Amino acid sequence: MSFSKSPVIYWLREDFRIHDNLALTEAAKDNKNLILVYFSNYLDKQPGSAEKVWINNSFLEITKKYHEIYGLNIQCYDGDPIQYLDDLHKNFGVSEIYINEVFDPRTKKKDEKIKKYFTDQIIFKTYNSHLLFDPEEIKNNAGSYFKVYSPFWRNCLSKLIIRKPLRPPKKINVFQDKRLKGIHDLSFNQYLWADKLFKYFTPGENAARLKLKELGNLIKGYSINRDFPNKDSTSKFSMYFARGELSVNEVMFHLIKNKAKINKDDYIKFSSQIGWREFSYNILYNFPNLPQRNFNQKFDNFEWEGNKKNFTLWKSGQTGFPIVDAGMRELYETGYMHNRVRMITASFLVKDLLIDWRLGRKWFEETLIDHDIANNSAGWQWVAGSGTDAAPYFRIFNPSLQSERFDKEGNYIKKWIPELKDLPAKLIHSPWKFHVSDLKKYNIELGKTYPYPIIDHSKARDKALMLYKKLK
């Protein structure tokens, strides 16, 4: 069958934005007639997880945007894309599909299957709108991928070219046919606890762009303050990067454009964190089992304890270690946790409770609004010591010392553990070290108003070191 002006498809995936969107821009170019499709369960997101709740809300916003700006209604399907794409191909002669690459190995596998199915029928035009570099581009002298961050990022910087961010398409030619029943008014898949999460962060491209405007202010003092959870001194861009509401290319463009106005150390430190994101993706690309398998196979023999009760206490912020509990409660309340506290809580799970990092990774996957398969997996393996360029196994965070150093006055702890709010800084990091009468003055009774510590850190540390040594 031949068609006079066949439409093309732009397939919306994890790219909930119209700014600096390569696949969308290319699909809308040259007056092509466009169909916009979305498969609501194509990406592997757990129903009810924080990221899914975020996605649903972001989807509502972008649906409205496409409708109001371009008169374009999304074709939203729930099922096997092959069947629907085949119908669109057969009914309307679609032979080109524009997509932004999703680097989640599960999605990549599905994409490959679909592309294979439509070989000779549909061309998939695939763009990298999620990272600064195509992972294939960054190789060491031996032609392999980098396993150490510093040379990796140096290599990236030597090749860095930032595009001028693309403006949203001025106009989109909407392909019209009465058989296409688009949607533009949705209120599906809302979860009750979503309201709670959105008290703290707002999903969608509009909110992301407001933050982008503040870039200079957001990272003022970043190099000095970024490690202190009570100082609101990091960008909180992660949820917008993760869901493709903000392009990393555009962030880097603004950073470079405003370089003269930004403190040099803040500039270097912030861009190097963007580098860590690139690094995580590079590792994931080359080692797709990163979410499930130890990068360093030596760790396959590690003897995890896997105490279920302790795992539940960790998840619910009831370990008796205030800094750990504050982090876990912040996570459950807001869907976000400060980076330093992610390291402390993760280290506590893996090296104090001896619980497999994969269980922690999974819990973060369910509860983080910024869940990102590359950063989360790399972050956990880094802490566990099993990853590339990871923290050495003998570096075991002491939660009390971390707390004294990074939350000196205990204000972060007080924010998330209201029962400790009256404790003076001296007592708040390790309340169990003080006499019952000292605590009573502040209405704290361990075991009643706040838990006793569930383990003895120094014994746990010795045990972890012994188990790690066995790996040799």
Ligand X SMILES: Cc1cc2nc3c(=O)[nH]c(=O)nc-3n(C[C@H](O)[C@H](O)[C@H](O)COP(=O)(O)OP(=O)(O)OC[C@H]3O[C@@H](n4cnc5c(N)ncnc54)[C@H](O)[C@@H]3O)c2cc1C
Question: What gap in Å lies between CA 443 and CA 69, rounded to an integer?
Answer: 57
* Per-residue x/- track, 207-226, ligand X (CB under 6 A): -------------------x
Which is closer to ligand X, CB of 102 or CB of 368?
Answer: 368
Q: Which is nearer to ligand X, 7 or 379 (CB)?
A: 379
55 part of the interface to ligand X, by CB under 6 A: no
- 155 lies in the site for ligand X, by CB under 6 A: no
| 3-class DSSP string for 419-453 | HHCCCCHHHHCCHHHCCHHHHHCCCCCECCCECCC
Using CB under 6 A as the binding rule, whether residue 234 contacts ligand X is answered as: yes
Instruction: For the CB of residue 419, give the shortest distance to ligand X in the complex, in Å.
Output: 26
* Cβ nearer to ligand X, comparing 354 with 420: 354
The interface with ligand X within residues 304-363 (CB under 6 A) comprises 339, 342-343, 346
Tokens of 301: 């023999």
Distance CA 95, CA 138 (A): 32
231 is an interface residue for ligand X by CB under 6 A: no
The residue number with the shortest CB distance to ligand X is 379
235 binding ligand X? (CB under 6 A): yes
Half-sphere exposure of 107 (CA within 13 A, CB side): 18
State in angstroms the smallest separation of the CB of 382 from ligand X.
6
CA 269 from chain centre, in angstroms, equals: 19
Beta bridge partners of 34: 8, 174
Q: How far is the CB of 285 from ligand X (least distance, A)?
A: 14
Q: How far is the CB of 120 from ligand X (least distance, A)?
A: 39
49 binds ligand X (CB under 6 A): no
Give the orientation angle of helix 264-286 with respect to helix 373-384, to 10 degrees: 90
- In eight-state DSSP terms, residue 210 is H
Segment 253-282, which members bind ligand X (CB under 6 A)? 273-274, 276-277, 280
- Residue 131 in contact with ligand X, rule: CB under 6 A: no
DSSP 130-174: SSSS-GGG---TTSS---SHHHHHHHHHHH--PPPPPPPPS--EE
Q: Interface with ligand X by CB under 6 A: which residues?
A: 226, 234-238, 241-242, 273-274, 276-277, 280, 339, 342-343, 346, 364, 368, 370-372, 375-376, 379-380, 383
